[in-house]
Structure 1
Amino acid sequence: MARKSTIKLLLINESDNEGERLISLFRNAGRVARAQRASSAEDLHSLLEQENWDLLIANDKHPEIAVEQCLEHLKKQQSDIPCLIIRDSNADAALEAGASDVVSSDDDQRLIFAAFRELRHLETYRELYATKEKLSDAEERSEMLMSKSQDAIAYLSDGMLISSNPLFCQRFGYDDPDDLDCAPIIDLIDAGDQESFKNLLKTQISNGEGSTDFNFTGINQAGEGFSAAMRLNNAVFDEEPCIQLTIKEQGAESNSSSGGNPDIDPATGLYSYQYFLSQLETANQQATAGTQVSTLLYLGLDKFTSIRSRYGITHAYNILLDLAEFIQAKSDEANCLAHYCDDSFTLLMPNTGTEKAKQYALDLCQQISEHIVEVDGQSIQCTVSVGLVAIDGKSQQEANQLIDNAFSASEKLREDADNEGVGNGAELYIHVREKKALGDANGDDELDAFIQEAIEDERFTLTFQPVVSLRGTSGDHYEVRTTMTSDEGEALGPNQFLGNINFSSINTRLDRWILLEATKKLSAHTENGHDTRVIINLTNNALQDETLIPWLSVALKAGGIPPQALIFQFLEADITDFLKPAKTFAEAVKDLGCKISITNFGKVDEPFKALNHVGADYAKIASELTEALQSGGDTQEIKSMVTTINESSTQAIISGVENAAALAHLWQIGVDYIQGGYLAGQSGEMDYEFTDIA
């Protein structure tokens, strides 16, 4: 999007008057905006298919479309349109649903700032995509030119061949370019010329410009010599400097075909399969970039085997030619129609959504069924089964897989038909996402995808266990834990699944979900008059992510959460392993008004070093160190630890309290908070009845 181009706004609000007000805001800020208001959910769907929008602005006043519904629709379409939400409360819900930002209704200036920021981001994204497209096209053209060149060409790096075209291979007696990959070039040159070649190669590399010609005796695969002339040029291959070798074929003439268009199949007059595949790949790339949505159709002739058996191969082929001409006549010029295999055609409908394409397919099926084909003096009528696939960038699949999916839809139509083998209709392929297993995730991308899918499938849930004060401290406390539902439906505790979530780079997707869900629950709970604080367990990624604190600050303000109600808890081992970022994190959250807790405390060699380093407000002592409390054993060591914790202005928490005997000991050693099955287990809600047991 150019800097001064017209901004295309899609609006979800109460009236056209509000739309005019927003247009006026952009005009006053020096930009021209053209706005379109969606009147209904159906209208929204249609507008998203028709136009490539720059920005969506929504509020909660639309009579039919809720903000979260709109954002969910965009998420399903995997749209890249930035979304700004105008609302005065519950901003976290909108942010969680995918909003780019949330702006209060009385802050028009910030709305414009946010809009220009998102437009810059969108412009950068589109420029990046365009650059990648140009690079891809350039590389594709380069490869095509190399493969079709009348010269024998190869690329050389560190004395080894890294790529070669078919003519180069043939020149040296090889059938496949792969046979020469990583082969030493010196092996293809006669021993008498090798020293000269080495010197010329060094000269060419050092000069960096111009070219060097070299007459030599080549050695082919059979060990036979032949005279040849080679030109050396500096080049770049796969973004690495290299040397291009060109062997000119003597007497080479232009070897073009007999004037025919190579993109056209001479047998049917339709586009060739290779050309169709290239167009499909282009459409797929455009869909991934969000610049265009297309639809692929696979048209299979019903009962073709029976037709061929009855009328013979020649007549069956003539029937296909007749159908090819008929379908081509019913197809727009913008579409790309190809003969895919014996009994089928493929049709690409660019810039066309599935609803329009399916209606076209149904009409075409009707027209084909009424079309009469004359074969050897007989009149016959045929039917086709059409499978459709949306090319919308959502499935991230290659072109061949898209064709296979369209074929599957065509076959499903036939299987479900009342008349066996005769679909005579159209079926849309529905992509079913393959479930990923946590243990099978390979690399950060797959691991991140697993977490995203688990969140979307609601496999993560939060539980709350009360933490009770022994000192009569005001306010209720709950520890927040995350559980995950396994593929077998079993609820897994954090110790059972967090060990498999090991990113090589920083990723806080799960931490952010935990924070959003916990604060959402807390907000609803405090609205009922409860004075409650939550201890939220986070991973070490949260300590290292420098963007988390600014994001958290915005989320707290938007959700109206008092910062002192949040206590962020980390494993002692994570604090120790990431001591410097832990200190930075602790200082930042305390500036916000939040607090820090260390869990599993006391297991490292110098536990109080970490505690004092981050200035922890709470220390939850490791359960292994408190076992004596349950059995009535010696409690002197744990009492000493609690005393030192308190001297550090930190409050001690002991969990695993399972009986009254342990409770009696805890009174004596100065513990501040207790937790365990004796009081209450974990629950999906914050519903514990706190009483003063001090």
Structure 2
Amino acid sequence: MNPNDTIRLLILNDSQAEAERLISMLHNAGRPNRAQHVTSDESLVKLLEEQAWDLAIAHDHTQNVAPAKAIQTIRRLNKDVPLILQTDEEGSLPIVEGMKIGACDVIRLDEDQHLLLAISREMSNRQQRQDKRIAERRFRESERRAQSLLDSSRDAIAYVQDGLYLYANESFAELFGYDDKDDIDCMPIMDMVADSDQARLKEFLKDFTLKGVDAESTKVDFKGLRNDGGTTDIALEVSHATYDEEPCMQFLARATRTEGPSAQEIEAVKSRDVVTGLYNRSYMISHSDKVIDSIADGQSRALLYIEIDDFADSVQGKLGVSGADMALADLANLFNSQVAEGETLARFGDSSFTLLSAQTTAKDAVARAEKICQLVADHIVEVNSKTLQLSASIGVSLINENTVSAETVIEQAIDAMEKARDSEDTSALLYEPPISAEEKEEKNILAEVQHALDNDLFRLMFQPIISLRGSDDEYYEVLLRLTNQNGEEISPNRFLESASEAGLGTKVDRWVILESIKMLSEHRSQGSKTKLIVNLNRDSLCDDSLLPWLGVAFKAAKLPADSVVFQTQEIDVTNHLNAAKALNNGLTKLGTSLAISSFGCGLNPFNALKHVNAQIIKVDGSFTQDIQSKSENPEALTQLLQELHELEKVTIVPYVENASVLSTLWQAGVHYIQGHYLQEPTESMSYDFNMEG
């Protein structure tokens, strides 16, 4: 695309001032644009349907039009509008999240030069996709013209590969006495050659094949076997060719006939369905391809795939084959009454029809499909004094400048029809692009999380943390578990990450905190001094309302605040230093404390401790696992622990799976250990700490 071309731009941003700044920046950078500030989902749909757009730029936290929903809308309307996200946040997390929802890039809000380069790239990519679509349409049009010439040619033409007919036109079929060219498809050549000439023809074809594609066209004659068992003299011109992208040989017999119907008359008969008088399947596919190839930017048509529900049982089973044909003819008349100028109606299958509309929008196309479904439901079919009331399901697929082929459009409409047929809410649906397996899994997990929150279905597990230094403190780490509705356990890392991405992280954490406090209160009422370590995700780390809420929760449970330690991961502390520092200070004032887990994997893990003075540090489990698997010596862990102890931190080492590592940890001065060697997580706080004394 020429850099001086005007960019048709959609801007999704809650700030009108920022939208204006963006437009001004593009103009100042020599990128003229015609921009529209999108303020609602409805206006986005209207703009996409009424005009062609090159690009969308959205802020990742805009509320008027959520970027994820905007991307879904663009896909649903079959528009080629790449979307670039802008973000205020640092780090890779917003980039990953943006890419997951389908953004083509995620760029910091103040990085205008980066944005300009991304715009140039996406405009170039879009132009290449457009050129590819145009080339594909022209190629298909050339193929259709060539095929049409072959089908209607009075010359007898066939294509042969590996001794079998790939294709033969009607004239070639007639040469051998066949009524339909399809009867010859995949038939061996020698089945149509008299025995006396088979050896000679085999030798000829073998020699011609060996000469390769550079061989000149040559002639061969033989006695051909007709369909009725008789013989006929055949003289063919043979040449190398390509058919349907396959190398093959072309057989050609020049026409001598001048009588019979014209090609146009033959085509008119071939394009009609005998039962209903409507256009047939092959005509609809061919016609739709021509419409797709000629559609202009901004134009939008729709293909409605109409399926009569339970046709085999409700119609054929009651009326028989001939009666069913009469019913189809009656329905064809009903549908034909709804066809406007410039539209095409066809019988597509045994019990299905297709309607190619004129210019329309997605909303209007679905509304029309619903109207047709109602017409069918209200219509009474009468055949031989028997009456039937039927229903229909309709799938709608849009056709615009981004549509590739009729085959794709029809497949999409059938997919939407099948969903409508299975739906209890509607009889007509617009095709929705399928979500990826990863997106589907993400949605399922989020549904499970929401279901668990709504129905109190999460489970808490408790794993003891044992002192190596004779401390009287009894610690358990609280671990969250989720079993889906099929009885399968979902990995905590998976569902907690999904919950956080969907904005449910704080709700999950607060459920865990309340349940933990409740169970701890009951446990301590029996005389123990047990303490819990409760994990917080990054959403809670940045939640300003958490501290006052905790104060109320502790007071209501009549628990001392120091009975619960709140733990967050090093990576979250590093990415949100100010929030972590504020939380640590607030917890200290509340009488409790903050622990940092997964410590030691960052490039400079001790930098976080300069800002966040957490007293309890749990090192990353990979250190212990590597030592136990003999893949790494303990020096790295020992050095890390030494530095932590010099800072007077209380250290916890997790993933202790066997006794071999205990001596190393003891010598390194570790305060607490945790792992399956001591006890796996259980549903109760039942570990006997006294046996460790």
Q: How does 1:33-432 map to 2 (within 5 A)?
A: 33-59=33-59, 64-71=64-71, 73-74=73-74, 80-89=80-89, 91-92=94-95, 93-157=97-161, 159-161=162-164, 163-167=166-170, 168=172, 171=175, 176-180=183-187, 189-203=197-211, 205=212, 207-208=214-215, 210-218=216-224, 225-251=231-257, 253=259, 255=261, 256=263, 258=265, 261=268, 263=271, 270-279=278-287, 294-296=302-304, 298=306, 323=334, 326-328=337-339, 331=340, 333-339=341-347, 346-349=354-357, 351-360=359-368, 387-392=393-398, 399=410, 402-403=413-414, 406=417, 409=420, 427-429=427-429
Q: Could you tell me which amino acid in structure 2 is paired with residue 227 of structure 1?
A: D
Please state how far the C-alpha of 1:9 moved relative to its aligned partner: 1.1
Q: Distance in 1 between matches of 2:380 and 2:186?
A: 53
State whether residues 283 and 292 of structure 1, in contact with CA within 8 Å, keep that contact through their aligned partners in structure 2. no
Residue 511 of structure 2: aligned partner: none
- Provide the C-alpha distance between the structure 2 equivalents of 1:314 and 1:242, rounded to a whole number of angstroms: 42
Shift of 1:294: 2.3
| CA shift for structure 1 position 490 | 0.8
What's the CA shift for 1:146? Answer: 3.7
SS in 2 for 1:150: coil
Q: What amino acid is the match of 1:667?
A: L
Cα distance between partner residues in 1 of 2:293 and 2:485: 33
| Cα distance change on mapping 1:392 and 1:453 into 2, 3 Å | farther
Shift of 1:128: 2.7
Structure 1 residues 316 and 173 mapped into 2: Cα distance closer, same or farther (>3 Å)? closer
SS of match in other structure, 1:327: coil
Distance (whole Å) between structure 2 residues aligned to residue 233 and residue 593 of structure 1: 73
Unmatched segments (≥5 aa) in structure 1:
376-380, 417-425, 435-447, 473-478, 498-509, 537-555, 570-588, 596-615, 627-637, 684-692
Label 1:408 to 1:64 Cα distance change in 2 as closer, same or farther (>3 A): closer
1:210-254 Cα offsets, whole Å, 9 max, x none, are 522333444568886532222222322344443322233543656
- d(CA) in 1 for partners of 2:666, 2:382: 102
1:453 alignment partner in structure 2: 440
Report the TM-score when normalising by structure 1.
0.58
1:199–1:74 distance in 2 versus 1, CA, 3 Å: closer
Q: For 1:82 and 1:560, how far apart are their aligned partners in 2? A: 35
Tell me, in whole angstroms, the C-alpha distance in 2 between the residues paired with 1:466 and 1:186.
83
Task: Work out whether residues 233 and 244 of structure 1, in 8 Å CA contact, stay in contact via their aligned partners in 2.
Answer: yes
| Change in 2 beyond 3 A, CA 1:318/1:644 | closer
Distance in 2 (CA, whole Å) between partners of 1:216 and 1:20 is 79
Q: Is the 8 A contact 1:85 1:94 kept in 2?
A: yes
Deviation for aligned residue 1:33: 1.7
**Structure-to-structure mapping, 1:255-654, within 5 angstroms:** 255=261, 256=263, 258=265, 261=268, 263=271, 270-279=278-287, 294-296=302-304, 298=306, 323=334, 326-328=337-339, 331=340, 333-339=341-347, 346-349=354-357, 351-360=359-368, 387-392=393-398, 399=410, 402-403=413-414, 406=417, 409=420, 427-429=427-429, 449-458=436-445, 488-491=486-489, 523-524=538-539, 527=542, 533=569, 619-621=623-625, 642=633
TM-score w.r.t. the length of structure 2 is: 0.58
State the Cα distance separating 1:334 from its structure 2 match.
Answer: 3.3
Q: Tell me how far apart the structure 2 counterparts of residues 314 and 156 of structure 1 sit (CA, whole Å).
A: 38
Q: Deviations over 1:305-363 (max 9, x none)?
A: 99999xx99997996676466323xx2x2322235689985422255344212444566
Q: Which amino acid aligns with 1:337?
A: L
Question: How far has the Cα of 1:119 moved from its partner?
Answer: 1.4
Q: Distance in 1 between matches of 2:300 and 2:665?
A: 69
3-state SS, counterpart of residue 118 of structure 2: helix
Letter in 2 for 1:83: L
Aligned to 1:457, the other structure's residue is in SS state helix
State how many pairs are aligned: 552
State the distance in 1 between where 2:439 and 2:273 align.
Answer: 45
Distance 1:650 1:320 in 2: 81
Counterpart amino acid of 1:490? E
- Match of residue 31 from structure 2: 31
Q: Which of the pair has more CA radius of gyration?
A: 2
Q: Tell me the CA shift for residue 54 of structure 1.
A: 1.2
Tell me if structure 2 keeps the 8 A contact 1:299–1:384: no
| C-alpha distance in structure 2 between counterparts of 1:278 and 1:467, whole Å | 71
Question: Alignment RMSD, CA only?
Answer: 6.5
- String of CA shifts for 1:240-288, please: whole Å, max 9, x gaps: 443322233543656435488454669877544432344557789999x
Unaligned runs of 5+ in 2: 450-457, 470-476, 506-535, 545-565, 581-595, 607-619, 643-651, 683-691
Matching residue of 2:591: none
Give secondary structure in 2 for the equivalent of 1:10: strand
Kindly indicate whether the alpha-carbon contact (under 8 Å) linking 2:275 and 2:328 is maintained by their aligned counterparts in 1: no
Q: Is the 8 A contact 1:8 1:53 kept in 2?
A: yes
Q: Distance in 2 between matches of 1:230 and 1:5?
A: 56
- In structure 2, relative to structure 1, the CA distance for the partners of 1:195 and 1:286 (3 Å cut) is same
User: How far apart are 1:8 and its partner, in Å?
Assistant: 1.6
Q: Which residue of the partner structure matches residue 613 of structure 2?
A: none
Q: How far apart, in 2, do the equivalents of 1:559 and 1:123 lie?
A: 43
8 Å CA contact retained: 1:408, 1:429: yes
Contact 2:397 2:410 in 1 (8 A): no
Change (3 A) 1:254 1:223: closer
Tell me how far apart the structure 2 counterparts of residues 340 and 35 of structure 1 sit (CA, whole Å): 43
Look up the SS of the partner of 2:445 in the other structure.
coil
Q: Which amino acid aligns with 1:109?
A: Q
Distance 1:177 1:369, change over 3 A: closer
What is the CA distance between 1:398 and its match in structure 2? Answer: 7.0
Per-residue CA shift, 1:601-627, capped at 9, x if unaligned?
Answer: xxxxxxxxxxxxxxx99554479x68x
Q: Deviations over 1:430-466 (max 9, x none)?
A: 77999xxxxxxxxxxxxx9433421232279999999
The 1-side partners of 2:365 and 2:28 are apart by 42
Aligned-partner Cα distance in 2 for 1:464–1:34: 57
Question: What is the match of residue 688 of structure 2?
Answer: none
Larger mean Cα displacement after TM superposition, 664-673 or 348-357: 664-673
User: What is the distance in 1 between the residues matched to 2:207 and 2:236?
Assistant: 14
Equivalent-residue separation in structure 1 for 2:217 and 2:579 (angstroms): 70
Identical positions, percent: 26
- Structure 1's 53 and 385: CA in aligned 2 closer, same or farther, altered over 3 A? farther
Q: 1:271 to 1:665 in 2, by over 3 A?
A: same
Cα deviation, residue 487, structure 1: 7.5
Say which SS state the counterpart of residue 37 (structure 1) adopts.
strand
Aligned with 2:304: secondary structure? strand
**SS of equivalent residue, structure 2 residue 250:** strand
What secondary structure is seen at the aligned counterpart in 2 of 1:458?
A: helix
SS at 1:214 equivalent: strand
Per the TM alignment, residue 79 of structure 1 is displaced from its structure 2 partner at its CA by 5.2
